[in-house]
Copies of this chain bind each other. A is one copy, B any other.
Amino acid sequence: MSRTRKAQRQQGLVELLASDPFFTDQELAEHFQVSIQTIRLDRLELGLPELRERVKHVAEKAYGRVKSVASSDIIGDLIEINLDKSGISVLDTDTSMGFANSNVVRGHHIFAQANSLAVALVDAPLALTGSAEIRYLNPVKTGERIVAKAYVLQVQGKKRIIRVESFVRERQVFQGEFILFCRENITQG
């Protein structure tokens, strides 16, 4: 009974905030007939940000502040690079990279960091991604710092196979294997 109640309330909470982000914890507590603490626990479990963050996110979107995906060549900061061997980049996430109604970072930002690190690793004027197999292992919350490590596994002429693993502290959040091609035999970057 009680686990049903909790699950129902949490689902209701997600839907309610998705439909209207302007509720305070106080109002939510009254709506669901529980204490403020319970609402805060729920938000914590569900990764739902506080009122001010939700409002800010809506406003930032309206203002076009949200980065769809940054336009610089490298997403994140390159802190180490060994051309055709290995490299590390760091990406500090922020609320603009999360979903509107939760503080979980959207996957394509994590992908973008990994992909651009892989591309940067290749010792060629132009490298393009041919294909990739990726896996998201753990959610990343906005504000967390993602460290991506990349290793070149194989070099075959114009083709490179690169493995990227991304971490938040000790927790692995992403892994991917990218197949890149250099120069003219373009597929995509």
Contact = CB atoms under 8 A, between A and B. Distances in A.
Contact of A139 (B21, B72, B189): B189
Contacts of A186: 47, 104, 139
A108 B112 contact: yes
Given A58-B63, A187-B139, A126 B112 contact: no
Nearest to A118: B107
Contacts of A27: none
Interface stretch (A29-37, A78-86, A130-138): A130-138
Contacts of A73: 99-100, 106
Interface residues on A, range: 35 or more
A52 to B, nearest CB: 7
Nearest to A133: B133
B188 A140 contact: yes
Contact of A125 (B14, B71, B109): B14
A21 to B, nearest CB: 8
Interface in A19-75: 20-22, 46-47, 52, 55-56, 58-63, 65-66, 68-73, 75
A89 interface: no
Interface string A112-144: 100110000000011011111111111110000
Interface in A158-189: 173-174, 183-184, 186-189
A151 interface: no
B108 A15 contact: no
B125 A101 contact: yes
B108 A75 contact: yes
Contacts of A183: 11, 14
Contact of A100 (B61, B70, B75, B105): B70
Contact of A68 (B21, B75, B110): B75
